[in-house]
Chains A and B, each alone.
Chain A
Amino acid sequence: GAVVSQHPSRVICKSGTSVKIECRSLDFQATTMFWYRQFPKQSLMLMATSNEGSKATYEQGVEKDKFLINHASLTLSTLTVTSAHPEDSSFYICSARTGGNRAFFGQGTRLTVV
């Protein structure tokens, strides 16, 4: 199946700093990618839809200035958590859909803000 690579897999940062997470589709082009957040023992919550060449679409309650999304090419979307705080600590997961409807997921990024 299609491969989606997410980097880094783990990151620890100090409170107040910013962290960038990359999501790449390795063997297909993705005009749309999705960013999810997952707290322990809970489901995935959609944060935003990343659109290549245009602004991301954020879900209700997600701060767009806090979670900056850039989708500059057909194979790369980035999520930057700005001025991170301990409550931003979570598991962040991206996904991309192929030409069909099937979505493939990255391996996730464990963010810990200390």
Chain B
Amino acid sequence: GESVGLHLPTLSVQEGDNSIINCAYSNSASDYFIWYKQESGKGPQFIIDIRSNMDKRQGQRVTVLLNKTVKHLSLQIAATQPGDSAVYFCAETSSGNTGKLIFGQGTTLQVKP
């Protein structure tokens, strides 16, 4: 596998605050990026995606920002709720990469009531 096997960093936020989760991706040829949410004992759940021809995309309460210059991706969650507590992964792929997704390190988000 190509992802890094490190222990996950943790972000702790107060309920109602905004959360920002960051990710550094590895392949400059990657042209499609996705954020996933994973709850304990479950598979990853799609949150939002962005293509390399964009630098920002908004969904419901979530925004993804892409900085190709420094190969950086971020996920912003507005008005964080207890149900947002989970592990968040960014994933990257390229159109010439047979579609395989390579996952980033992941961040644990803890929401304090």
Category for how many chain A residues contact B: 20 to 34
Interface of A is mostly: strand
Q: Which of A4, A44, A97, A104 contacts B103 (CB 8 A)?
A: A44
Quick check: A45 and B3 within 8 Å, CB to CB? Answer: yes
A/B pair count, beta carbons within 8 Å: 85
Per-position 1/0 for B75-92, Cβ under 8 A of A: 000000000000001010
- A-contacting residues, B1-59, CB 8 Å: 1-8, 32, 34, 36, 41-46, 49
Q: Which of A32, A39, A110 contacts B41 (CB 8 A)?
A: A110
- B-contacting residues, A56-113, CB 8 Å: 57, 59, 61-62, 91, 93, 95, 97, 101-108, 110
Q: Which of A4, A34, A41, A57 contacts B101 (CB 8 A)?
A: A34
Quick check: A108 and B41 within 8 Å, CB to CB? Answer: yes
Residues of chain A within 8 A of B104, CB atoms compared = 43
Residues of chain B within 8 A of A102, CB atoms compared = 34, 46, 49
6 new A-B contacts, CB < 8 A, other than A1-B46, A106-B43, are A36-B103, A42-B106, A46-B2, A101-B93, A105-B44, A108-B41
Complex A-B, nearest 4 residue pairs according to Cβ-Cβ distance, in ascending order = A45-B1, A105-B43, A43-B3, A44-B103
20 A-B pairs in the complex with CB atoms less than 8 angstroms apart? A32-B98, A34-B99, A34-B101, A43-B3, A43-B5, A43-B6, A43-B105, A44-B44, A45-B5, A46-B1, A46-B102, A59-B1, A95-B43, A95-B44, A101-B49, A103-B101, A105-B44, A105-B45, A106-B43, A107-B42
